[in-house]
Amino acid sequence: MAIVAALLPDRLDREALRSAAPPHDVVWAESWRELYRLVRKRPIAAAVADIHAEDRKDGVLRVYRFAQRFPITPLIVWGELDGRDLFRLGKAGAWEVVSSRDADDEHLVREVMHAALTGGLAPLVDARLRGRVGEDGRELVRFAAERIPDQIQVPDVAEAHGMSVSTLERRCERWGLPTPGRLLLWLRVLYGLRWLLEPGRSVESVAYQLGYSSGAAFRRAIKATIGGRPTPLRSEKGLDRALDMFVAECPGDGVYERLTATG
């Protein structure tokens, strides 16, 4: 499950987030600086921060800096927010806000967390495969893509789907997907490339977040899938090209072609 980084000095706020977060994990930061560091170093899927966490510092400006460094990591702002704060937060790039008044409404906080964590790579890949791979195959890819930050391995995927590794391999072949090992390799690379869209993350930190032993290992994975080096791929266009190449390796199960052919 995903990891959420949080900067909430108030004990009650921490409790509220803790009770709404499961099944996701929360790691706590004590300052904005530490929050930035956590997101840079760990596979953080979303962040939560109280804009009044540090006295005499403009929390909105910190949000702006966060959004500049990590533009695709959702930042949920928490706290007592007046009209001007809310207006400035939108401009600064806050992804969502939870006012103090709503903070102890577990349902509401859970909804916000869920919405923040359902973006990411999985829907992107799913959209590309739609019309090419059937629902069962796409469900498997979605499942794996959502768990890449947890460093999921092939046996974990097989176990979660109640089948052996060899059965999983046969299913992947039938659904027109790459082998499970190759699929996870691709998803790691795509995940990494998406993270690399954020200027605040380095190749080394992304490699570590994905479970590679070094930046060199991640570079080798890129070479084995897309070819070339990661740096030229650090753009929307690069990710787009990588997604195209991944889809080209998924011949699909032909269900959609057959449906089209028979009207």
Partner 1 sequence: MARYDRIAPLPMPDRARVFPAWYALADLENRERDPELARRARLRFLALRPVRRLLRQGIDRVPVESFERQIEGVREELGHLSARDPERASLARFLHRIRERTPTAVVHATLEMGEVIESSGHYRAAEEYFLTAFELAEACGLGEDQTTALRLVGRLCRKAARWDDAEAYYRQAIARSEAMGQRRQWARAMDGLAIAYAYRGNYPKARVLLEEVLERGRAWKDDYIVATALSSLSTNALTAGDYEQALEYGWTAIGLMDSEEARHPILGNLGRAFAQLGLFRAAERCYEIIIANAREVVPRNQAKADYALIAAEAGNVKEFRARRQRLLNDAAEWRDEPWVSTWVHLHVGRACVLVGDIDDAREHLRTAIALASKHRYNEQLIRAEETIELLEAAVAGARPAPAAVGQPGAVAVRIAEEVEACSTAALVPATA
Residue numbers at the binding site for partner 1 (CB under 8 A): 58, 60-61, 64, 81-84, 86-97, 99, 101-102, 105, 107-108, 111, 115
Identify the helix (H) or strand (E) that includes residue 166.
Answer: helix 165-174
Q: 255: closest CA among 167, 125, 130? A: 130
With respect to partner 1, which residue has the nearer C-beta, 57 or 223?
57
With respect to partner 1, which residue has the nearer C-beta, 74 or 192?
74
Residues 160, 180: Cα–Cα separation, whole Å: 13
Is residue 80 left, alpha or beta, with left meaning phi > 0 and alpha meaning psi from -120 to 50? beta
Q: How far is the CB of 130 from partner 1 (least distance, A)?
A: 20
Start-to-end Cα distance in the chain: 41
With respect to partner 1, which residue has the nearer C-beta, 88 or 188?
88
Q: How far is the CB of 83 from partner 1 (least distance, A)?
A: 3
3-state DSSP call for residue 131? coil
3-state DSSP call for residue 215? helix
For 94, the token pair is 């806050």
Q: Please answer whether residues 203 and 196 qualify as being in contact, where contact means their C-beta atoms are separated by less than 8 angstroms.
A: yes
Q: Please answer whether residues 76 and 45 qualify as being in contact, where contact means their C-beta atoms are separated by less than 8 angstroms.
A: no
Residue 194 CB neighbour total at 10 angstroms = 19
Q: How far is the CB of 111 from partner 1 (least distance, A)?
A: 6
Q: How far is the CB of 113 from partner 1 (least distance, A)?
A: 13
Residues 46, 164: Cα–Cα separation, whole Å: 33
With respect to partner 1, which residue has the nearer C-beta, 91 or 170?
91
With respect to partner 1, which residue has the nearer C-beta, 85 or 253?
85
With respect to partner 1, which residue has the nearer C-beta, 43 or 120?
120
Percent helix, strand and coil across the chain, each to the nearest 5: 60, 10, 30
Q: How far is the CB of 91 from partner 1 (least distance, A)?
A: 5
Cis before 23 (ω within 30): yes
With respect to partner 1, which residue has the nearer C-beta, 82 or 236?
82
Q: How far is the CB of 57 from partner 1 (least distance, A)?
A: 10
Residues 15, 56: Cα–Cα separation, whole Å: 25
Q: How far is the CB of 15 from partner 1 (least distance, A)?
A: 18
